[in-house]
Amino acid sequence: MDFSPTEEQRLLVATIRSFVETELRPLEAQVEETGHLADELAAKIRAKSQSLGLYAVNIPTEYGGGGLPVLDWMIAEEQFGRTSDILIRRAFGNVYEILLEGTDAQIETYLLPAVRGARTFSVAFTEPAAGSDAAAITTRAVRKGDGWVLNGAKHFISDGLYSDFFIVTAVTDPDAGAHGISTFILDKGRPGFSVGRDQPMMGLRGTSHVEMRFENVELDEGCLLGQEGQGLKLALATLGRVRLAQVAARAVGKASMILDDCLDHARNRRQFGSAIGEFQLIQQMLADSAMEINALPAGPVADGSRIDAGDEGAARSRC
């Protein structure tokens, strides 16, 4: 299969690379020093990204997104990966496709404002005893009249301090196993819902990964996202694409950025009267790294192409 980039893909790479190098990377030192990205800088990043057509590029155009095929989305994520996580989040938007499963009212209230950058949200799947095993959650949603009562806890919820609403998984039928999990939309500030401590993460300065508690949180029927009992399916589909994009593709970008920095250092650092890049051992180390890194994009690119061809298993294989 030929994965030679099209002219449109080359333009996408050049646009994002320029944006990252001129607008985002200069902010990295400030974020590392303060552990925070100021609200005015976050708004500036979002506005610039929107002007370039890069905000929410993974969402279909009929909802105001960029409508990129998954292959092109992976290419975009690789380039975004060349900067810090918090800067990527503010530039890319973190608008998850799971909201496409919403009703017309949910799309109007939650998805469209998120695509415009007017609202932010997080997915809240992970629990203290259920990380990679998404089916092992214990948070419960029990029927009460026409709605639900939610109890339980989540943790390591990315962007939790900054989000306006959350997509939460909960067990609705404990006897149905994997088919007894549902997803709900939960607004911040609802009685009984609290955001706890921020959990610092190595290498992720400026982001938030919080604990959350639900104590008799009442949800109406309109909070149910998708069909009852389909929550695990929606969660795994979301996690598959998130891991492919935000973990695999961005990791390729970070590795490429580090190699570029190493090459620059090898050209400019001088010892014994020569640039260290002229020493054979340094050349071998750089060459070995380049060969390994140049092979990395094959995974996200191939999987993105398979998803575009209708093979959603390519995303689920990353879960």
Identify the pLDDT of residue 312: 67
Q: Which helix (H) or strand (E) holds 301?
A: helix 298-308
| Class for the domain spanning 7-116 | mainly alpha
Q: Is the confidence at residue 313, as pLDDT, over 80?
A: no
The answer to whether residues 69 and 242 touch, using CB atoms and an 8 Å cutoff, is no
Alpha helix segments (H runs only) across the chain? 7-19, 28-34, 39-51, 70-80, 85-92, 104-106, 112-116, 231-242, 250-268, 280-295, 298-308, 313-316
The bridge status of strand 165-171 relative to strand 147-158 is: unpaired
Q: Is the confidence at residue 297, as pLDDT, over 90?
A: no
Q: Is the confidence at residue 316, as pLDDT, over 60?
A: no
C-alpha–C-alpha distance, residues 162 and 188, integer Å: 10
Identify the pLDDT of residue 308: 79
The 10s digit of each residue's pLDDT in 59-71 is: 999 999 999 999 9
What are the boundaries of each domain within the chain? 7-116, 121-232, 242-316
| Class for the domain spanning 242-316 | mainly alpha
Alpha carbon of residue 278 to chain centroid: 40
Identify the pLDDT of residue 319: 46
3-class SS of residue 216? strand
Most distant CA atoms of the chain, gap in Å: 80
Q: Is the confidence at residue 305, as pLDDT, over 90?
A: no
The 10s digit of each residue's pLDDT in 177-232 is: 999 999 999 999 999 999 999 988 888 888 999 999 999 999 999 999 999 999 99
Q: At what angle do helices 70-80 and 7-19 cross, to 10 degrees?
A: 30
Greater confidence (311 vs 76) lies with 76
Identify the pLDDT of residue 202: 86
Alpha carbon of residue 79 to chain centroid: 14
**Domain 121-232, second-level architecture:** Beta Barrel (2.40)
Mean pLDDT of the chain: 92
User: Could you identify the residue written with the tokens 């929410």?
Assistant: 56
**Nearest one of 82, 85, 87, 83 to 38, comparing CA atoms:** 87
Could you tell me the pTM of the whole model? 0.88
Q: Is the confidence at residue 275, as pLDDT, over 50?
A: yes
Q: Both tokens of residue 133?
A: 């095993």
End-to-end CA distance of the chain: 25
The 10s digit of each residue's pLDDT in 89-143 is: 999 988 999 999 999 999 999 999 999 999 999 999 999 988 778 889 999 999 9
**List of E strands, the chain:** 121-124, 140-144, 147-158, 165-171, 181-187, 193-198, 209-219, 224-225, 270-271, 274-275
